[in-house]
Chain A
Amino acid sequence: MRKLYKDSLLVFLRSKNLSIPYFALLALTLAYFGFCFNNYLQYSEIFSVAMWLVRPCIFLIAFFIYCSYELAIKMYDNNMVEYLKIYGQGLWKAYGAIILCLSTIVAIPSIMFFAFVVFMYYYIDVYYLPFLIHLMKLSVLYFGLSFIIGMMLGTAMAAKLKNKRLAVYGFAVIFMLLNTTFTEAPFRIPYLLFNSYRTERMLYYIKDFLTVVPHELGNNFTIAPIYGFPMEPIRWILAVFWGLFPLTLILTECFNRKTKKALIAASCLMVLLVIGLFSVRGSTLIMDMRVDSYPFADPIYYMDSPREAYDGYEAGFIVEEYEMNLTISNELHAEVEVTIDNRDLDNYEFTLYHGYILMSVGTEDGEIPFTREGDYISIESLNGADRVIFKYYGKSPKFYANRQAIALPAYFAYYPKAGRTNIWDLDRYGYVVNISPNESDYTVNIRSDLEIFCNLAGSNNSFRGKSNGVSLFAGMYEEIAENIYAEPMRSDLPKREYIREAQEILIDIFNRLERPEPESVILFSDKRFFQMPQNFSLNSNTDDTVVMSDHITSVFCNNGPELAENIMESIIKPKANIWFRGGYLSYLFNRQDESDPLVQSAVDLNLLLEEIDEWRSLAGKFSDMNGEKRKNVSEKDRATRIADERRRYDINQIVNEKAAKYLFYESPRKEENLRIFFDYFTSESEEDYLGLVERLVREELEHDRN
């Protein structure tokens, strides 16, 4: 076999159409490493470098498909197969030698990538072993196994399709395109044709089955350090499958009928097994434009669902105690026992995210009937029982829980919460912060291969304590300082002095506002601080910073003032436009840009009032617009409406910024105005904020006149 391997290698090296491009590829790879290294020197972002490193993966795989096909097809081009077959397993030996030869060919760039990532790890000087392991796994899976997949696919196509080069390269191109974001456009066609997501889901199912890269070419979404590159068990299973399945196809060409039948049967079984496993893959991180992806699954689901608002809904009972037994393997499997305070209600409502499939609801006496409707569970009378046991499993596209990482913040209904609360706020475009006003006792036991960090006290994935919510995080995540938890590989890590500084700033702010600090904010600097993965703010504007009874979660913590402002943002209700609210906060925190022409020049109040009037009259024209009316409007009216919308949009920013600038910076009553609007933002008042702005401005004008 060594001789055959050596000869196959000679054939490869002496084939100019193979060896020259191969050596050119090796040289290009080295140059590319230089580019990536330079990228790190410039921006010091290791994950950005890693993303650059994986981007050309698909090209290398395609190149190895080409190399392996062109090498294996020589046996057919040179009419060798017929006489090779008569020697004892001669054809199989020939293929075996080719595969060994190609393994050497792909091993060299694989080793180069592996060496480079290890070098980068030691160069960046952050000694975090899980990250090194992650990089090594990345190399093995995506710079090792993926290259082998390319090699096996090319060889198998030579065995099966033989000289049909058009078909072979056609398949190769399709395979390549399926591993890029190119599919976004054609995969939308079924929805255009059938107005249904089902076909799109099926197409993406096939695409995922064929995905061999960690981060598609053309994908602009970032990688969260807590999760890293996707390497869930299903990816490994698929990688092994795509290495073995082509091998069985090759073997069917090499053996006679009996063995061939057995091989075909084996490969069919393999396919069925992998499809089965793939169908139960559970929670995986999908960062692309599809309807079920991390960024879009929930917004689209809630946009398409009937709109119901549960603000201010009273459950009628409180959950006194939670006993949660969770198993986090391919997804979340949970058995949650809740103890409630009121046994006498006729009906109990709970909120549990719709992605979790409820298997049963029961009490100590056995299972009880329930109704599951979207995110809600309705249970009728408990017959005097005070404990309800929920058994469920499932996943959320955003709040993942699997063998690679866990990010389950307390404000998300991954366990049953009392009453009906919206999960998603359509107006604010973000997740509703669903935290109980009351604290409950929690006992949480989690079976997982990962070390989990929780706001409750405990260790070895068992936790106990009192809180108004339980947050769980795991992955490339650590306690980086006492009671501060974050992704160690992130460049903007939180520090205790930032949190203390934010506390002091907020104390000053509330003193300035002459208002008491909300209870949750008092002594928040002593609470556990969990930095959320940076891309958690990708599709949500509402949960950047959440303060709970015993812990804080925040996406950003670059400095004290910024954290203080984010906390203030979480306190005030988003009743006003972002420009006005943003202006309010910037002036409240003295963050205004003194060189900004808006700040430098005085606001013409009469003009401001006119603009506000104009804006409100334009807004009033569309307040009753709906889909039905939209269809029936004439072309002329439509054009007029669009022009009005555009005018409204154009003046929107300037009106709000000028209003904020005047009221909170220029006005002699600015401190009073800050207080008035703080009360407004934290109250249940439904008064339109511009109405309040107008009133205050008119009062001042009146005062000036007098």
Chain B
Amino acid sequence: MTKRMSEKMLSSLAVAIMLIFVLVTSINAASHTVYIDEGDGPVQSGSITATNGANYDGYNSSGSGHRLYITLQSSSGSGWTDQKVALMDIGQSASGYSAVSGDLLWRVQLNPQYAYTDCIGWGTISNR
């Protein structure tokens, strides 16, 4: 029991340090927006921290050449995991949320379909 508690304390401390680091480096990071322009490959937004999941919203401009993926990703510190993926047609938006709980980092990624680099779009991540 004591061993488990100290493990939990250690892990909580690690998460806390990580959170502090993230908070310091991204001030008022309750939401982040990322833009993708022509010539860009996959782009990621800055990260936010959340315990109750996150909302995302994205838009693929009508000026884009092709469809655009928006991916909502979370990380507990051991790599990014895709929680939501949506494929936005030209001129279409996509939005949603994920209710995965826990002290997690969240971000969105925009990625043009196939190997194209002619998309223009926006993606936003925010706390739920």
- Direct A–B contact in the complex, CB atoms closer than 8 angstroms: yes
Give the CA-CA distance A189 to B124 in the complex, in Å: 30
CB distance from B63 to the nearest CB of A (A): 4
CB distance from A658 to the nearest CB of B (A): 14
- Answer whether residue B22 sits at the interface, using C-beta atoms and an 8 A cutoff: no
On whether the beta carbons of A541 and B78 are closer than 8 Å, the reply is no
CB distance from B15 to the nearest CB of A (A): 8
CB neighbors of B among A534-583 (8 A): 534, 537-539, 541, 544, 555-556, 558, 562, 566, 577-579, 582
- Answer whether residue A220 sits at the interface, using C-beta atoms and an 8 A cutoff: yes
Chain A 623-656: CB-based contact to B (< 8 A → 1; otherwise 0): 0010100100000001101100110011011000
Q: Add 7 more A-B contacts to A221-B81, A296-B85 (CB < 8 A).
A: A192-B114, A220-B79, A429-B86, A582-B55, A642-B63, A646-B122, A650-B122
On whether the beta carbons of B78 and A42 are closer than 8 Å, the reply is yes
Which residue of A has the minimal Cβ distance to B73? A220
On whether the beta carbons of A39 and B99 are closer than 8 Å, the reply is no
Task: Report chain A residues within 8 Å CB of B85.
Answer: 295-296, 538-539
- Answer whether residue A129 sits at the interface, using C-beta atoms and an 8 A cutoff: no
- Chain B: how many interface residues by the 8 Å CB criterion? 51
Which residue of B has the minimal Cβ distance to A542? B96
- Answer whether residue A127 sits at the interface, using C-beta atoms and an 8 A cutoff: no
Number of A-B contacts (CB under 8 A): 132
On whether the beta carbons of A645 and B63 are closer than 8 Å, the reply is yes
Given contacts A625-B91, A653-B57, contact A544 B124 (CB under 8 A): no
Give the CA-CA distance A185 to B113 in the complex, in Å: 10
On whether the beta carbons of A43 and B77 are closer than 8 Å, the reply is yes
On whether the beta carbons of B120 and A188 are closer than 8 Å, the reply is no
Task: Report chain A residues within 8 Å CB of B80.
Answer: 220
Task: Report chain B residues within 8 Å CB of A300.
Answer: 87
Task: Report chain A residues within 8 Å CB of B128.
Answer: 582, 586
Partner of B86, one of A299, A579, A646: A299
CB neighbors of B among A41-56 (8 A): 41-45, 48, 52
On whether the beta carbons of B114 and A188 are closer than 8 Å, the reply is yes
Given contacts A189-B115, A627-B90, contact A537 B77 (CB under 8 A): no
* A interface, over-half SS: helix
On whether the beta carbons of B62 and A579 are closer than 8 Å, the reply is no
Give the CA-CA distance A566 to B91 in the complex, in Å: 29
Which residue of A has the minimal Cβ distance to B56? A578
Give the CA-CA distance A297 to B87 in the complex, in Å: 11
Given contacts A622-B62, A630-B62, contact A192 B122 (CB under 8 A): no
Chain A 505-541: CB-based contact to B (< 8 A → 1; otherwise 0): 0000000000000000000000000000010011101
Give the CA-CA distance A167 to B94 in the complex, in Å: 47
- Answer whether residue B14 sits at the interface, using C-beta atoms and an 8 A cutoff: yes
Given contacts A638-B63, A641-B63, contact A42 B11 (CB under 8 A): yes
Chain B 28-66: CB-based contact to A (< 8 A → 1; otherwise 0): 101101010000000000000000110101010111000
On whether the beta carbons of B14 and A541 are closer than 8 Å, the reply is no
On whether the beta carbons of A579 and B57 are closer than 8 Å, the reply is yes
- Answer whether residue A492 sits at the interface, using C-beta atoms and an 8 A cutoff: yes
